[in-house]
Amino acid sequence: MKQKYYVTLNPQELGIGQIRDDSQLVQYEIEVNEAELAEVQNYLKHYSEELYDPQNVILHPFSFEDVDNDNKQSLNNLERIYQIVYRYGTEKTKRDLESIYQQNNQK
């Protein structure tokens, strides 16, 4: 049975929950079963760990090439998360994401 969840995709806060926060954060409504929920949670966890991994800073001296590669990887992972949110999103979520996509492609 599918249940509603709210996905937050802000750099300051990534997460998923059944209660919509009253905060100023943008949250996307999705409808998923248990297996789909696990998929979304795994992608969010992976992206969050990659985004805030201190080893990336400590083990790699600063180089523009590394920063560029890290940025590309982060954007690819974030795009994948948005694709998953779109796939499981409610009609409103899909419309919101389509609108954002269209606005970004007009620039």
User: What pLDDT score does 107 carry?
Assistant: 63
Average pLDDT along the chain:
84
Q: 7 falls in which pLDDT band (50, 70, 90)? A: very high
- pLDDT higher for 92 or 25? 92
The average pLDDT across 19-36 equals 89
The CA distance from 39 to 70, in Å, is: 23
Task: Render pLDDT for 43-82 as a digit per residue (tens, 0 to 9).
Answer: 999 888 776 555 555 555 566 666 666 677 778 888 899 9
Q: Is residue 61 helix, strand or coil?
A: coil
Query: Domains of the chain: which residue ranges?
Result: 3-105
- Which amino acid is it at 46? H
- 28 closest CA partner among 103, 91, 104, 85: 85
